[in-house]
Structure 1
Amino acid sequence: MTHLLPLLPQIELLPLKAGLPAGQAGELTVLARITPADVPQQTQARPPLNLALVIDRSGSMSGHPLAMARQAAQIGIHKLEAQDRVSVVTFDDEVEVLIASQHVTDKAALCRLIEGITAGGSTALYAGWLDGAGQVAQHLDPQALNRVLLLSDGQANCGKSGVDEIVPDVRGLTGRGVSTSTMGLGGGYDEDLLRGMAVAGDGNFEHIEDADDLPRFFDAEFSGLARTAGHTVSLGIEPNPALGRLRQEVLNDLQRNPLGRLQLPNLIAGRSTEVVLTLQVPAQAVQADLGVTRVRLAWTARDGIRRTMRAQLNLPVMDEQEYAGLPENAEVREALELQRNARVRRDAVGRLDMGDVHGAQRLLTERQMCFAEVASAAPSPRYAQELEQLVQLEQDVHLDRNMARKRASSQSYDISRSKR
């Protein structure tokens, strides 16, 4: 039997300017881009999936939203293969294991059971998630992708309901190998809870305003699972100790693991993750090659083995005039400005939570003006989309504060985790 070498991701460390000025301390902006390797279908089949679909069927889901949820789940079922396992759990004020975990051998029968889901009462979100996690855990496979996919449009109001109560339990299951993705539908769900569950669950969070979009988001989640090359991904920043203790800042809103390393999204073929950081570098003498920093990437690969790799950034230190003539890297500038936009969104959410509507609007207005100057200097479709979203958010703050909060929170999450 031929044993194929693992396909490693690519790590790029891109500075805003490709050098440092001699004789002066300064701030260095770096874009760390992690790009998973493509996995040719003919050389390596995707790992099996072990999934639980947990669907809110409370009264607020009645009618069109629940119909779209059923359709989305059925689309997902049809994407699975015989090697995969699936379970379906529904919840209102009670939880029902509609389909116990089983191999996907009769898709039509599974879809018929899903078609029979009807709306009920309140929202026992935690209990529904827990039963779904239990279905996955019963058949835990270290070489499979073991995930709970939770859909809800409402607030958890039966049993455990607070973020501080639920998220630690999600993190605990993640440590045992069961990940969680969440989808919030409409304007009534708790975005802090569902986003917190997804982050703690090493999964994805989606804000979905229109029930008609549910099949598309389910399709994207299942496609992402099929292209996952690594999970439980972390990134450690390791400045050169010879330069002293460099002050560093990560602009992305990413949590850290117990070792202080950044928790990154799963490695998914065809999707890069970008992390923007700044380093305060002390004054240096002119030299051709200074090691500034390196990063340590770690992930659990398709075969269940934990792997690591490092990359280092070396830069020349040059005289002030030569440094002044260096151009900026447009990709790094764009990534930096997007992360700044994401931070303003988070700050605006904080102002809204304090009831400071005018303060939230002021933050968004000031950022629009600053960002418009950047966008006019280097027009691009992404800049245009960002500016449009910032303008719309400012309007939303006055028209629909609840939806403005959800949009700002979701957009910040997406930018921080390089979701396009």
Structure 2
Amino acid sequence: MNANAPLAIATILSVVLSSAGTSATLAADAPAVQLKVGVANPTMLAETQAINHVRIALDGIQPTEQRLRAPVNVTLVIDRSGSMQGHKIEQAKQAAIAAVQRLNDQDIVSVVLYNAGVEVLVPSTKATDRATIIQKIQSIRAGGGTALFAGVSRGAAEVRKFLRDDSVNRVILLSDGHANVGPSSPGDLESLGRSLIKEGISVSTLGLGASYNEDLMSQLASAASGNHVFVEDADYLVEVFNREFDDLMSVIANSVEIRVDLGAGVRPVRVLNTHARIEGRRVQIPLAQLYAGQQRYFIVEVEVDAKAAKRPLPLADVTVAFNDLIRDRAAKLHDRVSVHFSTSPDEVSRATDWETKAFCSVQIITERNREATAMRDAGQVQQAKQLLEDNAKELRVLAVKCKDNNVLVVVPELVRNSDANTLQALNIEDDRNWSRSRKVMREYQNAVEQQQTYSAPNR
């Protein structure tokens, strides 16, 4: 086994995340978000019933001029259980202090501590007296159990006190252990995350060290439209908090609601790796916020009944509503796609939208990466390794096809994700380091699914 493989995976993850942005800039009166809708197979085989994929891409525009950022309404939820004693809690305090120092008088901040119980150290307040807030943070001591669910719930309650449409509303959770007081399953925390995102509150989770529950932490972040980071070394906590606050302070749109209305003869199957509401032929996808320079995309899998289709067939009508924090107003975008039909398989193949197909494949492969983790947990080591190797090969083949069709923009993304699966396949047989490798895999999966803007510093 390659001893440097876990480090290499982390490095690839960092590069994958850094490629997620866009260089688009803001025109004079343009909205802060751009919308592009594509379909993997714009031409489908006639007289058949087949699966297709719609990609909905949102580009967060990079403002061309200096501007006042949107106010931040944030709660720091800090684990102070017994396992955090010593260096961990000291570094957590330094990270929290560094975060508070970046706030200004328009921002709202609160600090919630939890062990076997929950304490509101700093009730939700304007960050005008940062010196007093920092003094309170310096007084934190560790000891006791881990009431994680209650800590996040109370943190959300503090955010809720000053919840506004024109603010960036977030809970940042730091924990180094498993929840052992109160609700403690990944499903419990996922449900909490889903309920918070409906209110416009996102949750980012920072897992510290080797003992935290990565399933619980990653599912909470995914459900609540936040970041999830595996912070292996407490010495990096300040840097990770700074990167998280870089995100907070670059939000250009929030309360994003994507609505997809599918045409007659089109059935929604699922939204890949994303929590969505499906009712009849309508799909609704919530998103807490979009950052400047970020691209977020969502893949809607649909089944098309070509037998009942008119030609061409309206496939998807997409509307995106959001709060434009640059223009300080509500905004709405609209786009639609259709599909054509042919009796020629060659014509269907030639019409492939390779860019859309590539991003769809990345999400499908990431779903299989999760399956590989489950296989490894069940003791199916060789099957998990084979699946990861197959993932890597499939992405490499697709990269060559994109290059052959002169769709070069997606080739680096495909290659990087291929390399990540290859390196994970190398690590998956190592029993001694499986706990660590599993955390790296969960971080990677969440980052690709959420198109996260940053990862932990190189380990």
Q: 1:391: which partner in 2?
A: 422
Aligned amino acid, residue 389 of structure 1:
A
Identify if the C-alpha distance between structure 1 residues 305 and 339 changes in structure 2 by more than 3 Å, giving closer, same or farther. Answer: same
Q: 1:350 aligns with which of 362, 374, 378?
A: 374
Q: 2:274: which partner in 1?
A: 254
Q: 1:270: which partner in 2?
A: 293
Identify if the C-alpha distance between structure 1 residues 92 and 64 changes in structure 2 by more than 3 Å, giving closer, same or farther. Answer: same
| Alignment partners' CA distance in 2, 1:283 and 1:31 | 20
User: Is the partner of 2:230 in helix, strand or coil?
Assistant: strand
The answer to whether the 8 Å contact 2:59/2:294 transfers is yes
| Alignment partners' CA distance in 2, 1:419 and 1:200 | 14
Identify if the C-alpha distance between structure 1 residues 290 and 8 changes in structure 2 by more than 3 Å, giving closer, same or farther. Answer: farther
Q: 2:162: which partner in 1?
A: 139
Structure 1 residue 271: Cα displacement: 0.6
Q: 2:248: which partner in 1?
A: 225
Q: 2:236 aligns with which of 213, 224, 239?
A: 213
Aligned amino acid, residue 394 of structure 1:
A
Structure 1 residue 97: Cα displacement: 2.7
Q: 1:86: which partner in 2?
A: 109
Q: 1:15 aligns with which of 39, 50, 53?
A: 39
Structure 1 residue 230: Cα displacement: 2.9
User: Is the partner of 1:395 in helix, strand or coil?
Assistant: helix
Structure 1 residue 161: Cα displacement: 2.2
Aligned amino acid, residue 186 of structure 2:
V
Aligned amino acid, residue 359 of structure 1:
Q
Structure 1 residue 155: Cα displacement: 0.7
Q: How does 1:368-383 map to 2 (within 5 A)?
A: 368-375=392-399, 378=403, 380-383=411-414
Structure 1 residue 87: Cα displacement: 1.5
User: Is the partner of 1:254 in helix, strand or coil?
Assistant: coil
| Alignment partners' CA distance in 2, 1:177 and 1:336 | 27
Identify if the C-alpha distance between structure 1 residues 130 and 320 changes in structure 2 by more than 3 Å, giving closer, same or farther. Answer: closer
Q: 2:388 aligns with which of 364, 388, 397?
A: 364
Q: 2:365 aligns with which of 341, 345, 358?
A: 341
| Alignment partners' CA distance in 2, 1:334 and 1:29 | 11
Aligned amino acid, residue 419 of structure 1:
Q
Q: 1:320: which partner in 2?
A: 344
Q: How does 1:158-169 map to 2 (within 5 A)?
A: 158-169=181-192
Cα RMSD of the aligned pairs, angstroms, is: 3.4
Structure 1 residue 170: Cα displacement: 4.5
Spell out, residue by residue over 1:189-211, the C-alpha distance to the aligned partner (whole angstroms, 9 max, x if none): 12222223223434332233333
The answer to whether the 8 Å contact 1:50/1:146 transfers is yes
Structure 1 residue 213: Cα displacement: 3.3
User: Is the partner of 1:261 in helix, strand or coil?
Assistant: strand
User: Is the partner of 2:429 in helix, strand or coil?
Assistant: helix
The TM-score with structure 1 as length reference comes to 0.84
Structure 1 residue 17: Cα displacement: 5.1
Structure 1 residue 83: Cα displacement: 0.7
Structure 1 residue 215: Cα displacement: 2.6
Spell out, residue by residue over 1:57-100, the C-alpha distance to the aligned partner (whole angstroms, 9 max, x if none): 22322344333322322221122111111122222334333323
2:439 is aligned with 1:416: no
Spell out, residue by residue over 1:201-253, the C-alpha distance to the aligned partner (whole angstroms, 9 max, x if none): 34332233333332333222222222223334333332222xx2x24444621
The answer to whether the 8 Å contact 1:202/1:231 transfers is no
Unaligned runs of 5+ in 1: none
Identify if the C-alpha distance between structure 1 residues 137 and 29 changes in structure 2 by more than 3 Å, giving closer, same or farther. Answer: closer
Structure 1 residue 53: Cα displacement: 0.7
Q: 1:189: which partner in 2?
A: 212
The TM-score with structure 2 as length reference comes to 0.77
